[in-house]
Amino acid sequence: MNNVLTIAFYSLRRSFWIILGWGIPLMLLGIITIPFYDLVAENEKQLRPVLNTLKPLLKSFIGGDEAEQVFTPEGFIALRYFAFLPVVMGIFGSVYGSGLLAGDEEKGILDFLMAHPISRAQMFWGRLVAFFISLTFIIGLGWLGLWLGVLKAESMIFSPLKLILPYISVFAVTWLFACLSLAFSMVMPSRSAAAMFSGIIVLAGYIITTLSKAIKGLEAWALFSPITYFQGNAMVGLELDLLMKLLIASSLFIFFARRGFGSRDIRVAGDGGWKIPLLDPR
Amino acid sequence: MSDQNLPAIYAKDLIKSYGSFRALKGIDLQVHSGEIFGFLGPNGAGKTTAIRCMLDMIRRDSGAIEIFGKDPQIDSVAVRDLCGYLPGELRLDENASVKSILNYLRRLRQGGNDCSENILQLASRLDLSLESKIKNLSKGNKQKLGIIAAFMHNPKLLLLDEPTSGLDPLVQQTVLELVKEAKQSGATIFFSSHVLAEVQSVADRVAIIKNGEIVEVGVTSSLLSKRSWRAKIKFGSDDSGRKAMIEALKDTKVLKVSDDGRIYDIGIEGDVDSFIKCIAAFEVDYLEINKPNLEEIFLSYYGDYNS
């Protein structure tokens, strides 16, 4: 346990600039975006007819049938602020998760660290704990920005606690993609391949979930998209079953990643272990 | 069996493959506790693969390996606790400082004040500033950091992969002194090197690995002594008769004769007395007789590799 904390603390220190680099823009996004609600509320009469004339496919990208909720404070936050956040944070999770172990492995740093009296399990959990805390800080900065934005908007009154509900869902989606990417990085030939595949799933999931609001045939496919389980409108009520589905899937990916890391070779650049077996010309 | 009686490293029929490439083809190796063991071989021969198997960074396909009686695959943390490791190519977190990395590694080893004092002493001996950032260090200084990390906790077994690589001659000497001091305090040192002269100067025993197989293993001094003498001789004048005379000597073989018939390379198994007496009958301009050094022995195994 002691070593897990040592690893987590050191990894967290290394993540300092990542936390600021992602957390501050997320905070600014809230501060800048949310006060625009005052303008939307003022111009509701002019905007509502425009919204009604949009074709269903186009309308699906701004919330589908729920698009008209943009005129309510909760709806505005869900549609204008949280709608793209799972994609942005999903990409972040994919990049970070793939590099959690494979990044240092490719650089050859892990090889040196693992020569010390630490088990693979300790290294794995230490890094994962560090990511959990980093993500909490980033989400925390985002939530702070959202709250400051709400304070700045004249026609919005929400308690800080209520604002945290959609962010719990953002956390769960980001966590899921990070765990997925981590699991990929344990079986794929490189960190970048793992990040790329996970990133493709983020984008494909977003498109399928969005279009499924207009194209009925995609509804079944949308069940496999993690974005479908994201609750940008959690301020009106967080559905725990959706949250649990994301967390259960994440736990499965963690299980596979842990097994992968525990049973395979620690690779170093030029080691010869990076080739996909079927494509290995040797 | 007590720890002292257990071999520091024991490997039996150790096999490791990367895909279809077999890096280790059944290595048998026994390193005694308290000895300095040199592990020789060119790049790609399997040295690093063997060391990484010992630390359970890679998993063997078959065979057995034990470090002081412990299987690294079963008891990896205990094995790593006994070892200090310097990788052949040391990579570190570039944004960290030397001090923060060493403190991190010390904490991973649960190292206390002794460890901290050792770090300071080693840094002083190796002339390394602890305040420097890794990204500002030269290759040699990074290597010094690796050496400190390997030695700081006084391990029972040191696994050093090219320990003097990138170091200037003065620091190389300091590192060899550290190796000898570690041996005196009871540690076992297993090290690979391309600088065969330094292996020859410190190693009690050596093994030569070629294409994943151990081709020679033995006490360094006897490995050198059992080799034949090599004589290079330049005669004062041409005389075709002397070649037959030399070849007629027991255990003596003419390896090469120059075009003008004056310069001979000769191999002598056993005693050189009869050879000296034989050439005393001729006019000699130059004579050099010596035993091959470790480098020549090494190269004799790697004739194909070098050509």
Are the CB atoms for B21 and A272 separated by under 8 Å?
yes
Q: Percentages helix, strand, coil for chain A, rounded to the nearest 5? A: 80, 0, 20
- Give B289: exposed, middle or buried? Use CB within 10 Å, 0-12, 13-18, 19+: middle
Same domain, B64 and B185: yes
B169 shares its domain with B251 = no
Asked if the model's pLDDT at residue B223 lies above 80, the reply is no
Nearest chain A residue to B48 by CA distance is: A271
Measured in angstroms, the CA of A271 and the nearest CA of chain B are apart by 9
In a domain, residue B134? The reply is: yes
Residue-wise pLDDT tens digits, A84-141: 899 999 999 999 999 999 999 988 899 999 999 999 999 999 999 999 999 999 999 9
Cα angle, residue B270 at apex, residues B267 and B271 outer, rounded to 5°: 100
- Tell if the CB–CB gap between B96 and A14 is shorter than 8 Å: yes
Q: Which residue of A has its CA nearest to B146?
A: A112
- Residues 6 or more apart whose Cβ sits within 8 Å of residue A104: A110, A113
Out of B18, B92, B159, the one facing A272 most closely (by C-beta) is: B18
Residues contacting B47, CB < 8 A, separation 6+: B39, B40, B41, B88, B161, B192, B209
| Nearest residue in A to B73, CA atom | A263
Cα–Cα distance measured from residue B281 to residue B232, given in angstroms and rounded to the nearest whole number: 17
Q: Kindly report the average pLDDT of chain A as a whole number.
A: 89
Determine the residue of chain A that is closest to B107 in CA distance.
A6
Contacts of B83 in chain A (CB under 8 A): 115
Nearest to residue A64, comparing CAs of A74, A75, A73, A72?
Answer: A75
What is the rounded distance in angstroms from the CA atom of residue A253 to the CA atom of residue A124?
A: 13
**B117-130 b/e with 16+ CB inside 10 Å = b?**
ebbeebbebbebeb
Report how far Cα B99 is from the mean position of its chain's Cα atoms. Answer: 30
Q: Do residue B243 and residue B148 come from a single domain?
A: no
- What are the tokens at B207? 């093994």
Q: At B179, phi and psi to the nearest 5? A: -60, -45
CA B290, CA B292: separation in Å to the nearest integer? Answer: 6
Q: Do B91 and A109 touch (CB under 8 A)?
A: yes
Q: Please tell me whether residues B220 and B233 are part of one structural domain.
A: no
CA-based nearest distance B254→chain A, Å:
43
pLDDT of residue A282: 41
**Residue the block writes with tokens 């050792």:** B118
| Cα–Cα distance measured from residue B95 to residue A8, given in angstroms and rounded to the nearest whole number | 17
What's the domain count of chain B? 2
**How far is it, in rounded angstroms, from Cα A114 to Cα A104?**
11
What is the C-alpha separation between A84 and A281, in angstroms, rounded?
A: 42
Helix ranges (DSSP H) in A100-239:
102-107, 109-113, 120-152, 160-187, 191-211, 219-222
- Residue in B107, B149, B159 closest to A6 by CB: B107
Closest CA to A173 of A127, A137, A121, A225: A225
Give a yes or no: residue B13 inside a domain.
yes
In this model, does residue B140 exceed pLDDT 80? Answer: yes
Taking the Cβ of residue B249 and every Cβ of chain A, the question of whether any pair is shorter than 8 Å is answered with: no
CATH code of residue B260: 3.30.70.1150
pLDDT at A269: 58
Longest dimension (CA), chain A: 69
Whether the per-residue pLDDT at B221 is higher than 80: the answer is no
Q: What is the CA radius of gyration of chain A?
A: 21
Contact B77 A7 (CB under 8 A): no
| Strand order, beta sheet including B9-18 | B21-31, B9-18, B62-67
Instruction: Give the strand pairing for B205-210 and B36-40.
Output: parallel
Q: What is the CATH number of the domain that holds B149?
A: 3.40.50.300
- Confidence category of residue B3, pLDDT binned at 50, 70, 90: low
Same domain, B64 and B163: yes
Give the pLDDT of residue B240: 63
> A115, B87: Cβ pair inside 8 Å?
yes
Domain contains B247: yes
- Please write the tens of the pLDDT for every residue from B229-267: 788 888 887 666 777 778 777 778 888 888 888 888 888
Q: Which of B221, B226, B192, B196 is nearest to B9 (CA)?
A: B192
- The one-character DSSP state at B70 is B
Partners of A272 on chain B (C-beta within 8 Å) are 18-19, 21, 23
Whether residue B285 is contained in a domain is answered as yes
Pair (B219, B268) in one structural domain: no
- Report the Cα A268 to chain-centroid distance in Å: 28
Are both B66 and B107 inside the same structural domain?
A: yes
- Among candidates B292, B299, B302, B305, which has minimal Cα distance to B220? B292
Helices vs strands, H then E, count in chain B: 12, 13
Q: Identify which of A10, A111, A275 has the shortest CB distance to residue B57.
A: A111
User: Same structural domain for residues B21 and B112?
Assistant: yes
Chain A residues close to B55, C-beta within 8 Å: 114-115
Pick from A113, A265, A275: which is nearest to B59 by CB? A265
Per the domain annotation, does B65 fall within a domain? Answer: yes
Do B170 and B101 fall within a single domain? yes
Higher-scoring residue by pLDDT: A275, A24:
A24
Is B307 within the bounds of a domain?
no
Neighbours of B20 (CB within 10 A): 10
Predicted confidence band of residue B197 (pLDDT cuts 50, 70, 90): confident
Do residues B141 and B192 both lie within one domain?
Answer: yes
Query: Which of A253-262, B12-21, B218-227 has the least mean pLDDT?
Result: B218-227
Query: B58: nearest CA in chain A?
Result: A265
Does the distance separating the beta carbons of B105 and A111 come in below 8 Å? no
Range of B285's domain? 228-290
User: In this predicted model, what pLDDT tens digit does every residue of A50-70 receive, in sequence order?
Assistant: 877 887 777 777 767 777 788
Q: Does A117 contact B109 at a Cβ distance shorter than 8 Å?
A: yes
3-state helix, strand, coil in chain B (%, to 5): 35, 30, 35
The Cα of A232 is separated from the nearest Cα of chain B by a number of Å equal to: 37
How many A/B residue pairs have CB atoms within 8 Å?
A: 82
Q: Are residues B34 and B168 in the same domain?
A: yes
Chain B residue nearest residue A276, CA to CA:
B19
Residue B2, domain member (yes or no): no
- The answer on B40 and B177 residing in a single domain is yes
**Domain limits of chain A?**
2-266
Q: Say what the ipTM of the complex is.
A: 0.82
Q: Tell me if B119 is assigned to some domain.
A: yes
Q: Which of B180, B102, B181 is nearest to B141 (CA)?
A: B102
Q: What are the residues of chain A with a beta carbon less than 8 Å away from any beta carbon of chain B?
A: 2-3, 6-7, 10, 14, 107-109, 111-120, 263-266, 268, 271-273, 275, 277, 280, 282
Structure tokens given for B201: 């100067």
- What are A132-185's pLDDT values in tens digits? 999 999 999 999 999 999 999 988 888 999 999 999 999 999 999 999 999 999
